[in-house]
């Protein structure tokens, strides 16, 4: 996924420079904007593959830029929000305005690169109706909301599929319960974190009921869940 054009939208010059240095090592081409108005001009004049977007900015903030991208410009450019620690409400609002993921400052460069790679890959998947992938014996068909094991389709709800698909698309990455709730539930949802645990339990039980006995979802105690990387599964 290297060689793509990444637009960094942040009013802090030091943050833009830090991200630019990080991405240049991965052969991404970076463009910059220090506010929403400038970002709109860059997007109109360039082929942008992903936007890294700070939420709080002068002139046009991240929310207004998201609305413009999704409504006025009618563009499905993937967007990753850059948020401050404890900015949960703003992150949730951004996700439901059309952002694809988020990352919290301060972050590790390798985590940022992993998020970018994953989001860009998912954006291409959405355009390819035949795309599928396999991990630990499970075959995923994201655009069909289908998982097969030994060529037999598994019965899962749309929400269960979305959770497992997100985890399996990012093996080794730990998602907190809060992140899963933010990414997979509607903005008006009033449930608590136990809802995530209940869905994970249902997924595990449905996998076992189909004869799938690998512990593909690992609980990271005190944090959340991850799908174990393909060569580390426990039979």
Burial of 130 (0-12, 13-18, 19+ CB in 10 A): exposed
Q: How far apart are CA 208 and CA 214, in angstroms?
A: 8
Here the tokens at position 20 are 């630019």
Tokens 């990387």 locate to 229
Average per-residue pLDDT for the chain? 85
Angle, CA of 35, 36 and 42, to the nearest 5°: 95
Q: What is the pTM of this model?
A: 0.68
Which of the two residues, 209 and 84, has the higher pLDDT score?
209
Q: Above 70 in pLDDT, residue 37?
A: yes
Q: What are the tens digits of pLDDT across the range 173-202?
A: 889 998 898 888 865 566 678 899 999 999
Predicted confidence band of residue 73 (pLDDT cuts 50, 70, 90): low
Q: Above 50 in pLDDT, residue 235?
A: no
Closest by CA position to 179, among listed 193, 160, 162, 158 = 193
Which of the two residues, 16 and 230, has the higher pLDDT score?
16
Q: Above 80 in pLDDT, residue 72?
A: no
Burial of 85 (0-12, 13-18, 19+ CB in 10 A): exposed
* Residues 6, 23 contacting (CB under 8 angstroms): yes
Is the preceding peptide bond at 186 cis, omega within 30 degrees of 0? no
Q: How far apart are CA 170 and CA 180, in angstroms?
A: 13
Which of the two residues, 111 and 190, has the higher pLDDT score?
111
Tokens 């997924």 locate to 203
């Amino acid at each position: 996924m290297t060689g793509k054009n990444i637009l960094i939208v942040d009013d802090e010059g030091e943050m833009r420079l830090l991200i630019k240095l990080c991405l240049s090592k991965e052969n991404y081409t970076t463009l910059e904007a220090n506010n929403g108005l400038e970002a709109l001009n860059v997007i109109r004049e360039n082929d942008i593959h992903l936007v890294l977007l700070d939420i709080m900015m002068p002139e046009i903030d991240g929310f207004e830029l998201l609305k413009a991208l999704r409504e006025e410009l009618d563009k499905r450019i993937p967007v990753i929000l850059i948020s401050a620690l404890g900015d949960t409400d703003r992150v949730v609002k951004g996700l439901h305005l059309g952002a694809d993921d988020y990352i919290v400052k301060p972050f590790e460069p390798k985590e940022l690169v992993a998020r970018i790679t994953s989001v860009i890959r998912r954006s291409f998947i959405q355009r390819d109706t035949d795309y599928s992938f396999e991990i630990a014996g499970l075959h995923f068909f994201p655009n069909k909301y289908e998982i097969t094991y030994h060529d037999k389709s598994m019965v899962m709800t749309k929400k269960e599929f979305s959770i497992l698909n997100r985890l399996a698309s990012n093996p080794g990455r730990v998602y907190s319960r809060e992140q899963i709730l933010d990414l997979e539930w509607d903005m008006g949802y009033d449930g608590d974190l136990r809802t995530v645990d209940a869905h994970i339990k249902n997924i595990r039980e449905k996998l076992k009921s189909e004869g799938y006995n690998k512990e593909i979802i690992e609980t990271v105690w005190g944090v959340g869940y991850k799908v174990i990387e393909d060569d580390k599964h426990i039979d």
